Amino acid sequence: MFSVLLRVVGLAVLAFALVLAVLDLTRSISAAAPVVTPLAELWQTTSAGTFEWLQTTVTGLHALLWDPTLLFVLQLPGWIVFFAIAMLMMWSGQPKNDRFGRFASR
């Protein structure tokens, strides 16, 4: 049951990553130059309050957690981050392979 939920949510996240990739592609075509929207910009546009809350919380835990670690992930294009999350969810929700062959006895 949990694996089915992981695969369904992973598929929804993959669809969202595809939408973000198409948005970047259309912006690139209209600007006649490559346009890549970082995840931090998407997050600040959508919900600036939660972004500031995360920054203060993580910086309060340890400053090195925010600056080299989380800022690196937040500077990646949004569609790449969501694509990676979707692939991890779909991979972890994959049904386990049977160790025996189709006609082998147990």
Between CA 29 and CA 23 the distance in angstroms is 10
Q: What is the model's pLDDT at position 26?
A: 97
Mean pLDDT of 2-10: 93
pLDDT at 47 over 80: yes
**Positive or negative, the Cα torsion across 61, 64, 69, 75?**
positive
User: Is pLDDT at 105 greater than 70 in this prediction?
Assistant: no
Q: What is the pTM of this model?
A: 0.83
CA distance 83 to 15: 9
pLDDT in tens, 52-100: 999 999 999 888 888 888 999 999 999 999 999 999 999 998 887 767 7
Q: What is the DSSP string of 7-62?
A: HHHHHHHHHHHHHHHHHHHHHHHHHTS----BHHHHHHHH-HHHHHHHHHHHHHH-
